[in-house]
Amino acid sequence: MASNSQQNILRSWTLADTILEFYGYAPGVADALPKHVHEEYQFCFSVDFPGEYYYRGTFYAVPTTSLSVIHPDEVHSARDVDDRPTFSSYRVMYIKPEMLQRLASEIGDRATSYPFFPTPIILDPDLAHRYMRLHLAVEEGNSALEQEERLLSVLEQFMLRYAEIRPTPRAIGSEQQRVRRVREYLAEHLTENIYLAQLSELVNLSPYHLSRVFAQEVGLPPHRYQIQLRVARARILLSQGLSLQTVAEQTGFADQNHLARHFKRLLRVTPGHYAAQNSKIVRDTNDE
């Protein structure tokens, strides 16, 4: 899973204490990484090329599109099983043990030890899709809310599906007042890059429980609700004739591309097309 090629790529992003990495390897002869350890849990998605792990005294085949989990401080190595005829890539994520333990405790509403995953190789297309969506959200610079919610969701699903002792999610009651306060806060701070920690501190709930109760009460997770508020505001500003760049800036989107993607996803038309039609309607109305 490594190469000496000068064309190899390694990109890295951080999300709070979490490190996410993209490894891209150019075509070349099969290679291997030496034995090593990490202080964190290592999660990996083998996007488009198979490999092999040596882990816990056993060799494990790592098929294409498989996920894998390596525990903290456990010696392991990785190698290609064949020469790479085309470019190959992997998506890696490092999670601090304390974070995963805390989340497991929050899910089951009781103290727990560090989660243990008895099977290091996982074939789960749905979870792989969620994992990729998380990486792309971070890579593309999507909102902090979206990045954090996707991270919590991915880790939750790893534990609920594959941990040896799987936490049982506690029932969540109604939190209408707290959810209402969060909705008001999101509307009042429309352009800000809000973090889950801010919202959880606002209503005295953990980020994980806040995400759950908000989705239960509203029908959408916080980041999707935030996007809908921003798109609704963008419609008004576009109708007033403001430029796409100005609208993106005044609605909290990172740039025009982010505005266009979410606007079209929700309304099925581009912001430019919407502006061309509706700003004219506003002008005609004002002329009457």
Backbone angles phi, psi at 113, to 5 degrees: -85, 180
Count of domains forming the chain: 3
| Overall average pLDDT of the 68-73 stretch | 98
- Answer yes or no: do 194 and 136 share one domain: no
Confidence grade of residue 285 (pLDDT, cut at 50, 70, 90): very low
Question: How far is the C-alpha of 173 from the C-alpha of 265, rounded, in Å?
Answer: 32
* Pick from 97, 89, 91, 90: nearest CA to 37: 97
CATH of the domain at 34: 2.60.120.10
32 shares its domain with 156: yes
Report the half-sphere exposure of 48 (CA within 13 A, side-chain side): 13
Q: Are the beta carbons of 68 and 169 closer than 8 angstroms? A: no
Structure tokens at 274: 């919407």
- Please check whether residue 169 lies inside any domain of the structure: no
> Do 118 and 41 reside in the same domain of the chain?
yes
* 130 & 257 share domain: no
Q: Please check whether residues 206 and 238 belong to one and the same domain.
A: no
What pLDDT was estimated at residue 288?
A: 45
**Residue 2 resides in a domain:** no
**Contacts (Cβ under 8 Å, ≥6 apart) of 184:** none
What's the gap between Cα 198 and its chain centre?
18
Both 236 and 122 in one domain: the answer is: no
Indicate if the pLDDT at residue 3 is higher than 60: no
Contact 118, 161 (CB under 8 A): no
Mean pLDDT to the nearest integer, 212-226: 95
**113-122 average pLDDT score:** 96
Question: Are residues 50 and 124 both part of a single domain?
Answer: yes
Least confident of 4-13, 80-89, 193-202: 4-13
Whether residues 91 and 208 fall in one domain? no
- Considering the domain boundaries, does residue 171 fall inside one? no
Residue 67 lies in a domain: yes
Range of the domain at 140: 9-162
Q: How many CB atoms are closer than 10 A to CB 163?
A: 19
- pLDDT of residue 96 exceeding 50, the answer is yes
Q: Is residue 81 part of a domain?
A: yes
* pLDDT band at residue 112 using 50, 70 and 90 as cut-offs: confident
281 lies in some domain:
yes
Asked whether the whole model's pTM tops 0.85, one would answer: yes
Q: What is the mean pLDDT of residues 71-81?
A: 96
State pLDDT tens for residues 159-204.
999 999 888 887 777 789 999 999 999 999 999 999 999 999 999 9
Q: Do 154 and 28 belong together in one domain? A: yes
Q: Is 136 strand, coil or helix?
A: helix
